[in-house]
Chains A and B, each alone.
Chain A
Amino acid sequence: MTDAISNDKAFVDFDGVWLAYNDDLLAKNIFAVEDINLKVRQGEFIAIVGPSGCGKSTFMKLTTGLKMPSMGKITIDGQPVNGPLKISGMAFQAPSLLPWRTTLDNVLLPLEIVEPFRSQFKDRRKEFEERAKKLLASVGLGGMEKKYPWELSGGMQQRASICRALIHEPKMLLLDEPFGALDAFTREELWCTLRDLWEAQRFNVILVTHDLRESVFLADTVYCMSKSPGRFVVRREIPIPRTRDLEVTYTPEFTDIVHELRGHIGAMRKAGAVIQQ
């Protein structure tokens, strides 16, 4: 893989990272992800695509420090990762909002846990609530603060879930197929919401998805992962200028990139099939 970014400037730096889920698998040399080398600039939006079961979620766990690599080194924001990283926020395919909390209280949850907000929570509650309301309004959920999650549609719940991931102003947002369960129209709407949030705040985003159009529309760089072994096989920069409008997804330039990536995935699937024989 060619890499234009100089080593010391990388915000996220994976250096030859291997992970086996337990000692047994390690002894048998079975790895969930293999030889991951990755350098991400500050504020870069990357997407990782690949067939299901290729280790995308494992990659997420490594990035957040929930899992330690068996081999290799991960550095994020200049710090070696050796425990859960509080500078990141996460959202998943399931919004997993707490049904007994209002939307506002759900969004505030991270502030009740993460330092330094945790110890200030009681004193600065009003201020935090204002911040949460602003954030909710920016994703189109203004006036929904007092509603309970089950009173919201799927798309609204997912918006709230993204707000929850962003409320403590993380430097890095990790999204694991966040729009997978939504219908096509809602999904495209949320692409734009995410795009606007990112353009306003420029946090790092790592988006795991198997929607190629989604990855090309949103990301600066798309990585393709292969399945067993889970490796990064292709790195593709997306040269489409910002701010990207939904219209861009209908241009030949866009479609060509999607097609090209589809080609890589297709090739991998065939190769995988051969290996399994």
Chain B
Amino acid sequence: MKRKQLERWSPLLLLLAIVVVWEVITSGFGVSEFIFPSPSRIWEQTMEHKMVILGHAWRTFWVTMAGFGVAIVVGVLLGFLIGSSRIAYAAIYPLMTAFNALPKAAFVPILVVWFGIGVGPAILTAFLISFFPIMVNIATGLATLEPELEDVLRVLGAKRWDVLIKVGLPRSLPYFYGSLKVAITLAFVGTTVSEMTAANEGIGYLLISAGSSMQMGLAFSGLLVVGIMAMVMYELFSWIEKHTTGWAHRGSQG
């Protein structure tokens, strides 16, 4: 029982320990605020600029969610396509792998030319960086169907579509939710990176402007806020996953 309690609180305890050590080192050794601000100084600056930070955070949040939404739609459709057709798998997968290996930050200048400074590049970067895991996971879920089960259904006259809807899709749901957890964190990376060069709003923009005016505390608050948003979304999808596809996690409940 005590062990379980400890397990539950362990992330917070670790965080607390890190903050304490950080504070002790920075104030103890008198590290300059312009090099590495202490947690208390970061907190101070966060409170001081909280309305500004909140505004930028909101922008980053909705832009990320928009890109993520597009990523879900495209990822699911592509995953569905390559998971259910061998030809499509053979044709698309290698190209997608090559595409995924490209650093998405490199797309930002091109997107700026196409869409101008602002929302467009950020949404698209978030989308580009996060659709891949969704696609791969849906495809895997569909492609790893047991052949016996397929036979059972095909003998009954089931069309490919029936097999996909009755078996393939529910089967790939746990993979899907698993991929959402990964993808949402990536989407925040995409938005932030894009905002750093191609926006006048958002946490990425805040980071750059705080850095150039040597407001290190503010820059760290920006990082903090992105981290918190990503973590909250991750936990949300984790919760949804547990409550919709419990059958896939039965082993861990014992």
| Contact (A113, B250) CB under 8 Å given A64-B151, A66-B151 | no
Q: How many residues of B contact A (CB 8 A)?
A: 21
Question: Chain A: interface residue count, which band?
Answer: 20 to 34
**A124 adjacent to chain B (CB < 8 Å):** no
Contact status A85-B155, CB under 8 Å: yes
Contact with A along B223-254 (1 / 0, CB 8 A): 00000000000000000000001011010000
Partner of A113, one of B148, B158, B173: B158
Instruction: Give the distance in Å from the alpha carbon of A91 to the alpha carbon of B245 in the complex.
Output: 26
Residues of chain A within 8 A (CB-CB) of B167 are 98
B171 to chain A, nearest CB (A): 8
B69 to chain A, nearest CB (A): 25
Which B residue's beta carbon lies closest to that of A114? B156
**A100 adjacent to chain B (CB < 8 Å):** yes
Instruction: Give the distance in Å from the alpha carbon of A98 to the alpha carbon of B157 in the complex.
Output: 18
Residues of chain A within 8 A (CB-CB) of B162 are 113
| Contact (A109, B148) CB under 8 Å given A88-B155, A168-B156 | no
Residues of chain B within 8 A (CB-CB) of A109 are 153, 166
**B7 adjacent to chain A (CB < 8 Å):** no
Residues of chain A within 8 A (CB-CB) of B155 are 64-66, 84-86, 88-90
Give residues of chain B (197-232) contacting chain A, Cβ–Cβ below 8 Å. none
Which B residue's beta carbon lies closest to that of A115? B157
Partner of A99, one of B153, B158, B248: B248
Partner of A66, one of B149, B154, B173, B248: B154
**A94 adjacent to chain B (CB < 8 Å):** yes
B175 to chain A, nearest CB (A): 13
Give residues of chain A (101-116) contacting chain B, Cβ–Cβ below 8 Å. 109-110, 112-115
Interface residues of B (CB under 8 A from A): 146, 148-149, 151-158, 162, 166-167, 170-171, 173, 245, 247-248, 250
A-B contacts besides A100-B173, A113-B162, 10 pairs, CB < 8 Å: A64-B155, A84-B157, A89-B155, A96-B152, A98-B167, A98-B170, A99-B248, A112-B166, A113-B157, A114-B157
Pick 18 A–B contacts, CB within 8 A, sort by A: A64-B151, A65-B155, A84-B154, A85-B155, A88-B155, A89-B155, A90-B155, A92-B148, A96-B152, A98-B167, A98-B171, A100-B245, A110-B156, A113-B156, A113-B158, A115-B157, A150-B250, A165-B152
